[in-house]
Structure 1
């Protein structure tokens, strides 16, 4: 069973480290995924597979939420150009969402590995 509290903690840590990573060169988003996944796996505990699962959820959740928010923001900006601008903004937003979703899969993969390590260290 999924421990959504562990996933939430991992997501929040990932978000905070990612925000700091934007301001501090060298820290970056890779570190955010690793730390957030580790936290999710550590809080969930229960072994390798359980930690992997919770790290995967924390990593993918963050990326997908950001992607949907960017899609909506770009579509809203496009509405300033009328109906045609709204359609163009929606299409451009979907393109951005697709790229962010692909990056979320990459972030989720490394978060999953870090989650597995965190769960094993807790055991």
Structure 2
């Protein structure tokens, strides 16, 4: 079962660190994805698979939401060119969103790997279940 609280916290950590990481392009974004995925996996706990899943969701959420915003802007900008522009803008916006989803899932693999590490570190023991935050 997905712990959406852990996913959203991991997403917010990655987003804030990503904004701060703009000072060091590439490295800052990579670090933000790794730390956000780790936080999501650790908060969710439950081992390798659970941490991987929660890190993947936290990492992909940012790309999907960003792609949706860009697609909406492109689609709405097309209406400035009349009905034909609106249709073309809608198709372009859909294409941009589809590509953003694919790219965000590929880029979320780093967050998923860090989330798997976080999930392993918060597995708990038979007499003590994983910590749930």
Which residue in 2 is equivalent to 1:31? 31
Whole-angstrom CA distance in 1 between matches of 2:79 and 2:98: 20
Map 1:1-123; keep pairs closer than 5 Å: 1-123=1-123
Name structure 1 gaps, 5 residues minimum: none
Q: Report if the CA contact (8 A) 1:18-1:32 is conserved.
A: yes
Structure 1 residue 52, shift from structure 2 partner? 0.7
TM-score with structure 2 setting the length: 0.83
Cα distance in 2 between the residues matched to 1:29 and 1:102: 18
Secondary structure at the residue paired with 2:112? helix
C-alpha displacement of 1:122: 2.9
Aligned partners of 2:23, 2:50: CA distance in 1, in Å?
A: 33
Report the TM-score, using the length of structure 1 for normalisation. Answer: 0.89
Shift of 1:95: 2.3
Larger radius of gyration between Structure 1 and Structure 2: 2
Q: Deviations over 1:93-116 (max 9, x none)?
A: 122212211211112211111100
* Deviation for aligned residue 1:26: 4.5
The 3-state SS of whatever aligns with 2:108 is helix
Secondary structure (helix, strand or coil) at the match of 1:34 reads helix
Q: Which runs of 5+ in 2 are unaligned?
A: 124-133
Partner SS, residue 46 of structure 1: coil
Aligned length: 123
Quote the RMSD (CA, aligned, Å): 1.6
The Cα of 1:16 is off from its aligned counterpart by 1.2
Seen in structure 2, the aligned counterparts of structure 1 residues 112 and 89 have a Cα distance that, compared at 3 Å, is: same
